[in-house]
Chains A and B, each alone.
Chain A
Amino acid sequence: FPEMSYLLLFCVGAGAGQDVGRSCILLSIAGKNVMLDCGMHMGYNDDRRFPDFSYITQNGRLTDFLDCVIISHFHLDHCGALPYFSEMVGYDGPVYMTHPTKAICPILLEDYRKITVDKKGETNFFTSQMIKDCMKKVVAVHLHQTVQVDEELEIKAYYAGHVLGAAMFQIKVGCESVVYTGDYNMTPDRHLGAAWVDKCRPDLLITESTYATTIRDSKRCRERDFLKKVHETVERGGKVLIPVFALGRAQELCILLETFWERMNLKAPIYFSTGLTEKANHYYKLFITWTNQKIRKTFVQRNMFEFKHIKAFDRAFADNPGPMVVFATPGMLHAGQSLQIFRKWAGNEKNMVIMPGYCVQGTVGHKILSGQRKLEMEGRQILEVKMQVEYMSFSAHADAKGIMQLIRQAEPRNVLLVHGEAKKMEFLKQKIEQEFHVNCYMPANGETTTIFTNPSIPVDISLGLLKRETAIGLLPDAKKPKLMHGTLIMKDNSFRLVSPEQALKELGLAEHQLRFTCRVHIQDPRKEHETVLRVYNHLKGVLKDYSVQHLPDGSITVESILIQATAHSEDQGTKVLLVSWTYQDEELGSYLTSLLKKGLPQGTA
C-alpha cells in the first residue's frame, strides 16, 4: 500500500517573510486555503503598504478561493489591511479573531484612517463605514475553543501574551495541523502572562523570529531601573515625560507605575493623554481574563486597570508646578501631544524623558537618543535639550530562548520562520535543526514553501476483529505500533479493516490457501529421528512462548508450522528439513527457517 503524502503549500504574501513589517501568510492545507493575518507596512504611503492580493487569485472571487482569514492580534502590521482586503478587494468569508482583538481592532483602524485621510488628505482609502462592515464579518473566538469553520477545517486559539488578546492559532484539517504563532512573548510582564501551547505536535509551526539572535536579560532589572529613574526625578521635583504608543506597552508601564505609587505611597500625579488610550483602557478593564495572574486574582478587590493614581491629562496641566509623570502619544516624539510637552519641559535639567521603545530615524526621539542636545524645530527655532534622556527597552517579543521553548512545548515536525531578518533567521534555523532534528524553513517574500507530511489515515475496524486481535499477544501499548491481521477494503473513499473471512464474503471470493515450503540442510550424521529430536529440543529451548510439539509420525509442529526431516538422498550426513507454513504464519515461518539455517547448537544431544 503506497505511502500517502499530503501537500502543504505556503504562499508567503507580500510582507511577513524575511522582513519586519506586513504580516500576511497564505496557507494551503489539505485542500483548504487560509489567510493568516492581513497586515500593512507602516513605512510606505503608496500601494506597497498593503499586500498584493492579486497573488491569491488572478481571476475569480477571493471568497471562493479562501476558506477563512485569521487575525492573531490588533497591531496594524497584522490587521491593518483587513478593511481594504474585505471591502475594497472583496472578501465575504469569515474572519476569525479573539474577543479583545475584535473590540480594539476597529479603534486602531479608525485612528489610522483618520491620520491618513483627514490629516494627510489621501483619497482612495477605506472609510469608517467600510471598517464597520468589515468588523461585521468577524467571528470572535475564545481561548482553547475549537471552532469548526466547515466540516473539515477547524481552528483553535492559544494564549500568546504580546498584547491584550494576542493569540496563536492551531489550524487543523483531518489529522494535519499547523500552528501559527503571530507575535508572542514567552516571559510574562506586568499585565500579560506568557504564551502557552499544549503538546499538539503540529505538522508545521509558523513562528515569528523578531529576536532570533537575542537572549534577553531578566526583565526585573529594566523595571527596577525604570522605576528608580522615575522615582528619583519625581523626588527632586522634576517632571517625567514618557512618550508611548497608545496600546500595549503603555498599559504595562501604567500598571508598573501605578503599583509602584501604591507601594511607595507616592503622591505626585500621573497623567495619561486622553483619547485613544482612554478608550483602550476601557477594554483592558473588560478583558481581565486575558491578563496575568496577579490582575486576574485581585480584580475582585480592585480592577488593576481602574487606576487610582493615573488621571486623564489636560493640556493645561503641562504648566503646573511641581513633579508629575505624563504618558503621551505618539511614541517617537515626532508630532502631537508628546512633542508639545517635550518642548515645554526640555529646558529644565530637573526633568526627564524616558523613551520606552525604538525610534525611527529622523524623528525627534531618535535625535535625542543619539545624543543631540540642540534641536532645530520648525520656524528656525533652536531648542536646547537640558532634560535627561533615558532609554528603556520594553519589548514583548519572544527571544531566541523563548522561541526554542515554544518549539519544545509544541513539538512540531517542521518549523517555518517568518517576521524577522534573513541573517538572524539563518542562525536560528541552524539551531532548530541541530537541537530538535526537525526541518526548518525561512521563505523570502513571495516565496512558496512546500512541506510533505506523513499523515496517518484513520481506518474503521470492526469491533470483533479488534477484540480478537488485541486478545492475542501482550497488552496494548500506546507507544508501540501493533501488528494486526486483517483485510483492508477501500471503497467509496472510506477505509475499513475487516477479517479476511468477512472480506471474502463481502467480495464474493473463494479462499485460497497459500503455503510456503522451504528446505534447510543440516549437517548431522545421526539418524533421522535423532536429528528430529535434536531439532525439537533446540526449538523447545528457543521458542519458549510457543507450543512446540513432537508428533508421533516424526514431524515437529510449531503452532501450525510443520517441520519434517529426511536424509539427503546423496549424502547421508546431511539432513534436509522441510519447513512448511501458511501465508498467515509468514512471520514465524521465516523466523524459524532463519533459525534453522544457523544450524543446531553442538551441545544438544
Chain B
Amino acid sequence: MAAHLKKRVYEEFTKVVQQQQHEDLSAKKLRLTKPSKSAALHVDLCKATSPADALQYLLQFARKPVEVESVEGVVRILLEHYYKENDASVRLKIASLLGLLSKTAGFSPDCIMDDAINTLQNEKSHQVLAQLLDTLLVIGTKLTENPSVRMRLVEVACKHLTDSSHGVRNKCLQLIGCLGPVEKGGAKEAESQAAKDVQKIIGDHFNDQDPRVRTAAIKAMLQLHERGLKLQQAIYSQACKLLADDYEQVRSAAVQLIWVLSQLYPESIVPIPSSNEEIRLVDDAFGKICHMVSDGSWVVRVQAAKLLGSMQQVSSHFLEQTLDKKLMSDLRRKRTAHERAKELYSSGEFSSGRKWGDDAPKEEIDTGAVNLIESGACGAFVHGLEDEMYEVRIAAVEALCMLAQSSPSFAEKCLDFLVDMFNDEIEEVRLQSIHTMRKISNNITLREDQLDTVLAVLEDSSRDIREALHELLCCTNVSTKEGIHLALVELLKNLTKYPTDRESIWKCLKFLGSRHPTLVLPLVPELLSTHPFFDTPEPDMDDPAYIAVLVLIFNAAKSCPTMPALFSDHTFRHYAYLRDSLSHLVPPLRLPGRKLVSSPVSPSIAPHEDPSQQFLHQSLERVYNLQHLDPQGIQELLEFTIRDLQRLGELQSELAGMADFTATYLQCQLLLIKALQEKLWNVAAPLYLKQNALASTAAKQILEETYKMEFMYSGVESRQVVIIHHMRLQAKALQLIVTARTTRGVEPLFGMCEKFLQEVDSFQRCFISELPHMQGSFVDKLLDLMPRLVTSKPSEVVKILQTTLRQSTFLHLPLPEQLHRATANIIEPTGESDNPLRFTSGLVVALDVDATLEHVQDPQGTVKVQVLYPDGQAQLIHPKPADFRNPGPGRHRLITQVYLSHTAWTEPCQIEVRLLLAYNSNRSKASAKIPKSTWNESLEALPQSENGIEGTIPFSKPVKVYIMPKPARR
C-alpha cells in the first residue's frame, strides 16, 4: 500500500514540475507587459468620477502585487493623485498604499521619502496625517542603516507631536520609538542637537491627556530600550506615577516599563516616600509590581504576575513576603493553615480531627503595626494564586516556578502553595503547577502531609494530570519511609483504578526506588510479604501491582547490597524473568551465590556500552575497507553487517538510532550494487524485463530510504545530509538509466536528462563545501565529466552515467554524536476490541487517538494521522497544534480526535489508523526559503521551488479499528 502511495506521490510530483515550467513561461510573458501597470492605474484613477469610484479602483489595485521595478512609477502616480484629491478617505487609502508599496521586497524607498514628507505639510485631516506618519514609519524601518534619514523622520515626528489628534501623536511617538537615535553622543554634534534627547521628548508625553497617547509614549520608551538605548533612571519615578493611571492599557505598559528599569538599575537606591528609609530599586519595583497583582483589570494582573517571575535580583526578604498574607482574626495574629500543618507534623502528631476553634487566633496584634495595603509585596502570590481569572493564576504559578528555581529557600516556602494549586478547578492550572513542582524538585523535599496531598491527585480522571504527577514523583525527594510506603500504596491504587497507566507507574517506581534505597530497605519484608518462619504463597507474576512492587525493590537494591538477603527464592526467579522481559525497568543486580545470575554482568553500565559501540564501528570499518572485493563478497558482507546492525539496534536501545541509520544506508548501497552488478545490463534492454523491474524497484526503494534517513532521524548533521543526497542522486541516475532503456524514442529523455543535470548542479551548489571530502565518489566523477555531459545526447549521457555509477566507490558515512530515530506508538485505539464502533452512515464518529512520539522535531508541522478504509480510500488528518503535548525533552504526546465517516456497510470492517511523518525537502535547506510576500493573501500560484518535494513516511505500526456505519433509519 505504501509503495503504491509513494508511486502516486512521485507521479504527481513529476506532473507538478512540468506545470511549474509552464507557469514560469507565462510569468515571463507577464513581465513583458509590466510597464502598463502604473499606466493602467493612472487611467483608472483619471476615469474615476467620484471619490467612491476612486476608492474602489484603489482597493482593487491593492489586491494585486506590484513588481519591484515598477513600484516607483506607481508611487509617483499615486502621489500625483494624492495632491489632486479632495476626499480624505481616498487620500487615506493612497497613504496606506504608499506604505504597503514601500514594503515591497527589494525596493529601496529613499527615493520617495522626500515626497512622503512633503505631503505631510499641507495635510489637514488628522486621520490621513496619522496614516502618512505610518507610511513614514514603514519607510524608516526599511532604511534603518541610514542615520540622516532617521534623524529627519524623527524631526518630522517631533514637529507633529503637538497635533491635537491622539492618532497623530500616537504615530509620532511610535516613529520616535522605532527610529530615535540610540547611540549616545552621535557622530555629528549638530544633528544630535537637532534630535535632542528623545527620552525627554517621549517622557513629556507620559502625562498626555489622552490615555492612548500615554500608552504609545510608554511603548515607544520600551521600543527604545529594546533597540539598545539605556533608559535613564529618572524615568522611574514618572513610571511609578503611571501605575495609578485610570486606564488599564497605560498601567499595563507602565508595569513593563518599571520592570525594564528594575533590570537596568537593580542596585541603585530609591527613597521610600512617607519615611526616611531607602531601599534598592529592584526591591521597590518588585513591591510595586506585586501591588499590581491585585489591580482591578485582569490584563494588568496577568502582566504583573508574569513579570514577577523574572525579577531574580530581588532580596529574599521581599521575596518571602509575597507568600505571607499576615493573617489575623479579630485583631489577633493567626497562623495560616500551612503553618498549622507544619507544626502538627513537626510535633509528631498525626491527623487530628479538626475542632471548632482549632484555628483560634493566638497573640494580640498591635493595631498600629498592621499595614493593610501599603505592605507592598505582602501576599502578592497568595492573591495571584487565588485570582478569579485562570490566566492570572497560571501566570502566578509560572512566576513562582521561575523564582523558586533561583532561590532554594523560596522554593521550600512556596511548596505549600503549589500543592494547593493541585486542586484548582481548571485543569490547565493544575497541570501547570505539577510541572512547576517538577522543575523545582531538586530544591525541595516533600513533607509527609504535603506528599499526602500530592498523592491524592493520582486519582484524577485526567490522564495528563496523572502522568504529569508520575513524572513529578520520579524526581521528588521523600523524607521518610512512611512517605515511600504511602506513595507506593497510592500508586497501586491508581494502577487498579486506571490500568492503562501501567508503564508510567512502573517507570515512576523505578526512579522512586533508585532515589531512596535506604528508605525502601526497611519496607522490603512488608512489601514482599515475607515472614521469618512461614513460607508465604508465591505471588502471581503477571500481576501488574506485584511487578510494580518488584520494580521499586530491585531498583533500590541496585545501590543497597544488603537488600537481596531479604529476598525469598521466588523473588530471585522473578528477578531473572523481569530482567529479561522488562530490561528497561529492572537494573542488573549483583546477587550473591546465585546460579541464576550470569556472573560476568558487572554492576556498572559504563563498560557495558563500550563494546557494542566498538562493535558498531568495527563492523562499519570492515565494510568501508573492503571496497575491492568481488561483487558477491561485498553483497554477502553487506547483508551480514546489516543483519548484525539490526540486531544490535534491538539489543542496545541507546545505539538503536545509530545502528538503524547505518543499516539503512548499507541497505541502500546493497540495493544499488545488486541493481548494477548484473551482467545482463549489456544485453539489449527490452528483452530483460525482469532485470528492469528489479532495477527500477531498487531505485524507488533507495529514494524512499533516503527520505527516511534524512527526515526520520533527529541529530542528522550536514555531513550526513550530503551522503544521503548523494545516495539519492545515484538512485536518480539509476532511474534515468532504467527509463532510458525501457522507453522508446528520445523525446521524453531530453527532459529527464536536463532535469537530472539540473539536480547535479543544485547538489553542487548546496554542498560545495563538502565536495572535497567526496573524492572518487559518483558525484565527483560526474562533475569532472560535466562539460561533456552538457553537450552530449541523452543516450550518451545514459552511457556515461552507467559507467560512472559502476565505477564509483561508495562513501564512508560518518556518524554524528547523537542520532535518534523518530518513532511513534499508538496507545489508543489498541486495536484489540471486537466490538465495532457503530455509527449512522453519513454522520461522523470521533475516534480518540492517543500516541507517543519520540525524537520528532516540530511534530505540530509534520505529524499527520492517516485513516485507510477497506475500500482503499485514504484520509489524511492534520491534528491541531494544541493536540500535541510535550512531557519531556524529545518526547511528544499526541492526543487527538479523528473524525470518521463512511457510507453504510453491511458488515463491520476494519479500518487502519497510522501516523505519518510529512516532509518537505525544502525544509533541509534553509537558504532556499521562499520569501513570503507582504501583499495580501491573494498571491496566485506561489511559485514552487524546483526541488520542493513533499511526501510522507509512515512511522508507526498501523492499528486496526473495527467500525460499522449503519444505514440511517427512516
Point out residues on A near B: beta carbons under 8 Å.
187-188, 190, 193-194, 196-199, 213-225, 227-229, 231, 259, 262-265, 292-294, 355, 369-371, 388-392, 400-401, 404-405, 408-409, 424, 427, 430-431, 435, 475-479
Contacts and interface: CB of A to CB of B under 8 A. Distances in A.
Nearest to A405: B294
B326 interface: yes
Contact of B337 (A217, A388, A479): A217
Interface in B400-427: 417, 420-421, 423-426
B784 interface: no
A435 B372 CA distance: 8
Contact of A220 (B329, B386, B461): B386
A265 B461 contact: yes
Interface in B152-169: 162, 164
Interface stretch (B309-317, B353-361, B544-552, B724-732): B353-361
Contact of A199 (B296, B325, B358): B296
Contact of A218 (B356, B386, B456): B386
Contact of A222 (B296, B334, B337, B353): B337
Interface in B531-558: none
Contact of B423 (A224, A262, A424): A224
Contacts of A198: 296
A369 B327 contact: no
Given A214-B330, A401-B372, 12 more contacts: A188-B386, A190-B425, A214-B329, A221-B420, A263-B462, A355-B356, A401-B373, A427-B367, A435-B373, A475-B164, A477-B207, A479-B209
B431 interface: no
Nearest to A359: B356
B374 interface: yes
A499 to B, nearest CB: 22
Contacts of A435: 371-374
Nearest to B371: A435
21 contacts: A194-B387, A214-B330, A216-B327, A217-B336, A218-B336, A218-B382, A219-B386, A220-B385, A220-B423, A221-B338, A229-B354, A263-B459, A263-B462, A264-B460, A292-B388, A390-B353, A390-B354, A401-B372, A405-B294, A475-B209, A478-B209
Contacts of B296: 196-199, 409
Contacts of A431: 370, 372
Nearest to A227: B423
Interface string B240-254: 000000100000000
B372 A188 contact: no
Q: Nearest 10 pairs between A and B by C-beta?
A: A221-B337, A188-B388, A220-B420, A478-B209, A391-B356, A369-B356, A264-B459, A265-B461, A213-B331, A404-B372
A479 B242 CA distance: 12
B475 interface: no
Interface in B357-385: 358, 367, 370-374, 379, 382, 385
Contacts of A220: 385-386, 420-421, 423-424
Given A199-B246, A424-B330, A223 B423 contact: yes
Contacts of B711: none
Contacts of B334: 215, 217
Contact of B355 (A214, A391, A409): A391
Contacts of A479: 207, 209
Nearest to A191: B425
Interface residues of B, number: 52
A385 B382 CA distance: 38
A190 B294 CA distance: 19
B64 interface: no
B337 A265 contact: no
A404 B325 contact: no
A355 B336 CA distance: 20
Contacts of B207: 477, 479
A400 B423 contact: no
Nearest to A193: B388
Contact of B387 (A188, A214, A427): A188
B947 to A, nearest CB: 47
Contact of A404 (B356, B373, B420, B426): B373
A177 B128 CA distance: 41
A63 B329 CA distance: 43
Contacts of B208: 477
Contacts of B812: none
Contacts of B426: 294
Contacts of A221: 336-338, 420
Nearest to A400: B372
A107 B358 CA distance: 37
A198 B358 CA distance: 39
B707 interface: no
A371 B356 CA distance: 8
Contacts of B367: 427, 430
B328 interface: yes
Contacts of B372: 215, 400-401, 404, 431, 435
B497 interface: yes
Contact of A263 (B353, B355, B387, B460): B460
B389 interface: yes
A265 B388 contact: no
Contact of B328 (A213, A259, A388): A213
Given A259-B425, A475-B162, A294 B390 contact: yes
A193 to B, nearest CB: 5
Given A262-B461, A435-B372, A293 B355 contact: no
A216 to B, nearest CB: 7
Contacts of A293: 388-390
Nearest to B330: A213
A390 B351 CA distance: 13
Nearest to B161: A475
A508 to B, nearest CB: 37
Interface string B590-632: 0000000000000000000000000000000000000000000
A227 B353 CA distance: 14
Contacts of A389: 353
B18 interface: no
Contacts of B246: 199
Nearest to A186: B294
Contact of A225 (B162, B336, B354, B460): B354
Interface in B219-237: none
Nearest to B209: A478
A369 B209 CA distance: 59
A427 B329 CA distance: 12
A43 B636 CA distance: 101
B300 to A, nearest CB: 12
Q: Which of A213, A216, A219, A404 has the most CB of B within 10 A?
A: A213
Interface in B444-482: 453, 456, 459-462
Nearest to A197: B296
Nearest to B329: A214
A265 B501 CA distance: 15
A371 B327 contact: no
A187 B386 contact: yes
Contacts of A388: 353
Contacts of A229: 354
Nearest to B493: A235
Contacts of A228: 453, 456
Contacts of A400: 328, 372
A197 B296 CA distance: 8
Contacts of B386: 187-188, 218-220
Nearest to B365: A213
B353 A476 contact: no
Given A217-B336, A293-B390, A263 B461 contact: yes
A401 B338 contact: no
A522 B602 CA distance: 108
A408 to B, nearest CB: 6
Nearest to A295: B425
A265 B327 contact: no
Nearest to A224: B423
A385 B331 CA distance: 34
